[in-house]
Structure 1
């Protein structure tokens, strides 16, 4: 109801006919609500019992109506005071008061005046009520900003009041619906007319139905009268019931003539009556509209071809009441079809005898004619496609070309011969070659006329020839060595891509002498294989200098020259010059020769040192035997000591020869690596980019080492440069030192150096990391992951060789995308000698246990070693390669048996710290042991320190592992 009320706009005079208070409220409350929201002054003229109810609902904001805040927006008046004077209903008083309220509303800035009248119908004479309502309608037409809702209670109001309300109000609200009153009168009726005698029930029942029916009838009548399409309706006996002017124009009969005739006889000739009867019978049986073509007999005696659509309207028993139909005059179409048929006949003989396909197409793109050649070429019958769009035969990719040429023809142009693919009955496509021209009749273009032939074989031959040329050209261009074709005067006539890339001068190659563009000379080269081939007609070969502009030598080339001869006469027509750049090969050959020479010298020196060592060993040991048999202080005793000292100097000389045999001269000295790093710090900072945080973390009380200082600095520089290159977007680079002890046992990644004390130098970065595949080749000579001209592949290989030469070791620990740590192990050197392992008695402890341990490490080798060691000592191991799988097991019922979590610190899915926190949230009593191969500075970013008791550094021994596991398990929880 509310949505319907919103459609009412001033001036609107509406009457609500209701039977219950609920009906009254459902209309009056929304009516007031809409007015308040639109800033309309709302005047409620109500009986004494209605006013308190409305006020109570408005004060509670019921139904979304909020109490008005603007003064004068909502006022209440009693019906007795507003509508009656001296006990009598006074229409004049009402109208006068409404005009005053309207003026007041306008002065106070309200948009309109909205009034609700609760009509005391039983106290109002019905004739005066009708006079009041009609007068109010006229008054409201002058008051453009006022609207009224009059409410009449059907139960207590006299029938005359209800009837007069229906007659007098333009808008009625009845049974929850708003009606625009079709029966509303504009003037007071005369007494005794028909509507005076009809009751209110009649008007209410027929109000909406009559309104709709009349509006529908008026609409349909208007449509049919103005339609250009002929329409008629008739009875089953053939009499004409209705028709429109277009039907009269078609038949030639006027209205009176058609009413007196039957459409089954007057308008239908005998030859079409049987057709009509068949379709009428079919219509009666199926009750479905029928569509067919026939001829209608006109008044002037002519027949007009028509297209007829016939419908049936039946009664309740399904019997036809009448038929109606719509007619299309198809005279023009018939004439066009006949003209096309005659045109086709004229060309039929030509079409049937021509060897090429001859066709015609209408302006609509339909195939009008095809000659028998079409069947021979495509396999289709002509009847399969005549009358159908010619585009149906064309390959989808060629439709655009076909359409464009068709449009050219229709525009009067004659397009050049074109080729498109045509579909055959076998499903394959042939290539048709077509010539098209406009089809002209009576001076107008009516379509396209054309001739086509099968050009598939010709096109295939042409394509094969082009493909062969393209194939040879591709081969010629794809050969990675340079190829030039010269004429007998040594002019370059053709080159491939490689030779053009080799000689990037600022001048084209073709059309110039080869020695000008290739060697920058003004006359042929003295040793020129191409010149020799031109003279002898035989192939020639030379290794020549590669030169650039100005004759500058830039490298070396292999140059082959082959004669190019005419295949028929055998006459030399030119030279094929084949050039291969061997600059890099020559450089590698030179390096190889130098390397072989140095290797030979090294082997020779090593061989001499080896023989000298044998001799010195014999001299030294025998001298000691003699010295031990003599008394100290004797002359011979001192002489033998001099022999021993001289032998030691010979041994020192031998060691120098051995050093040389490793291709690197060394000068070992005792070094404090912390001091070396301090001396190098400024230089190292210059090697590192500004977006990298660089720091050196030396360990206190570091042990000295004995090695060549230059070699140590070289190792440090190489590792720092590599770390810098691994962090193109910035990061952290840390150098750390510490004393360590290498103890061989069941170690993971054991250090391949003798057991003992070492000084460890670690270079760590947070860069791109190293994949497992790259790690396998990390220390191989000439292996590099850097781009072209950015790395030699010798840096890490040199570091590896230096450490091997100094009895040390270098190890890499990294994961792809997670940074890298390179550890350098150098033998500790104190008091003039290397420190040997401390021979301390092994501490007795129990390595065995029965606890269940959850193990997580993404490296299979680590998991296998830990599982083997701990399983052999009685532990139950649950091994997992990922944190997610370990977390899933911890959630299972079996997870309650876990006593210890051993986890790697850095893993792909989550860190060991994160995993431990999640596992502890599930199993609070679990203890944790972290393991890692990274330095403390790296793992500290993951919330772990290698100084904690719950951490084990890789590599570790089996004893170290079992001892640490037992230590963590036995530690009492805080």
Structure 2
């Protein structure tokens, strides 16, 4: 193979190194590149990796001689064309010469030989090899151009008959090579093109190259459009035929026709389109064309438009944005653009909003843009109105329900989801009756929907039912919605949830009623307490004096027992009226319930199971221990009476933080943290009517003589006075659950457990001086007689002013003032303040069975004043007096 500089490569093979070196020198001097080998095998391997232009080899050699090397070279495809000269050292070795020529040697040179002779032989074969290679390459190139040319390539004789055709001719015409060779081209030409095609052939055959368009019929009958180039074939100065190339123009012609048709359609669409359209130059922004719709819509004439740029129809403040947009489009490869909504200015100055769709095209050699403008001003206004309506629909606090005329729900806003508890997907297509109880659904069908369809509107209050089964009340307005022709379309219901307001109104009415009853009960209890104090006191004193007459003692004891029962009744009335003086303290309700466990079990019948579920880390709450015990007992008795055939009574405690669901159903409960006391039974339950009156005094569902009707009203009063809330949940046959919410306090709970006193109870005897202040004469006389019997000196006052006068004028010591709290002129508390100013060391003991002044009651409790509740027995009086006198004085 030739080296990089083009020198032919000769593979020189000789087993004698000296001869190899001499011959190589001669060849190199002539400009050849020489590769040496000492035997045929080495030469064959060298030839495979570096094919030479000529091999010069000795015949007789060890390992592999020249004859075998020649045979191997000719048997190797890529080496076979290599010319080979064999050299023989034996003169007239005819067999070797014959064999060499038989195996393919190109020449045979015998020794001795003139080096010039050998060089001539080498030069001749190298040049011949190069010429043959060039000819072969030329043939290959021609074959490639002819065989693989995508266009039809052919040659004719001077009569117009096909002499040669390439495969593309077959593909173009549908005829095989055999069918074409020898046939005349005129058999393919369509009739209307035949005259000019024959004329053009003759001109080419006369030596004048031709280029023209014609058409032929494909074998399957299709018309094929061609661009033909014909030129004469000249050999030795004579024209012997015509050579031609035919290019298929069928698709190009089809595209051109389609383009013309498209341009015609475009022009028709452009001119007849009802929407404004125009074309403008992307470089100068000048209008190049406008349609009639643009002229009508914008108010400019065609001539005015064609003298303007697109900047002239834009508001001045939008020009910067416009230019940025135009530059972006001009730099983009994208041809189709949806540019959004822009503001345009008409000739009369009106600003409109238009939606722009554009397409980049070439028009008369100028890069242009075709624009379609759709005026969306009114559409945008309508969309904005709809958007505002949708915003109102979605954010309005009232629940909006849209139904068809048959009552099926077609739309539903978020507020409706909140009020009724259903997600929108759950109710769409459902009948609106699922939102109401059966009787209300009948009312809606019979009254409300009929009214809406006839009168166009209905409004009022409706009881509804939530997804969770709870009920509520809505202030509703139903309006008939009509379409553009005035036909009934749908019914829109706007519902405002007034359940909390109705509950508050009910609570207010209930509270006002309870307050009125409480004031009446409290007033009655106050007067009764004074009377009962005298009755109990005198009965007790009489029992002390009547020792012998047992019959009389029994009668007096019966009087005292009846009076004590009446006193218990007044205490319940006072508990309900919240006029009691209570002594609350922080405590753990779990301890209270646990301590009452055995007592409660005795209270219940054997067929009632008591279950305690007490929260381990219960918060403390502040409540009067004796009163919360009364609450638990009353609720347990109520549960027992509701389960005559046995059942389960569960007392549960828990820590509660108010949640939205609790506040929604009980809006009167203030948000905060509460200790829950829950008493649940599995008894007969209650309907809603009974639940509305359950806490009213003297209300009872029991038979006459089976109850006072004060048990639950007492619970209500104690809980309210303790700052808590009580609720009831019940259904007939499903038992009842009473829940009491008592406020959490941040304080250490005092132990409720009773401790044994290390000292004996005081006996009550003494000789101190006591100022007795009581406006009720019977009570005053009884108290004085009792105190004097136990050795005390008693100063008596019937009103506060008299008491103050005694404090000022009495010369001796007054050790204790026993005063009623509720009196004319001033309260016992105010009296104590003025009396203490006169006698600082005098002790004060308050007594009352009723206290209407909330502030006064709170002050007494907060200061932990000694107090004796009316009605009281003589023993209780002297015990409390002695306890107060003996108590250590404050530091």
Q: TM-score, normalised by structure 1?
A: 0.28
Higher Cα Rg: structure 1 or 2? Answer: 2
Q: TM-score, normalised by structure 2?
A: 0.31
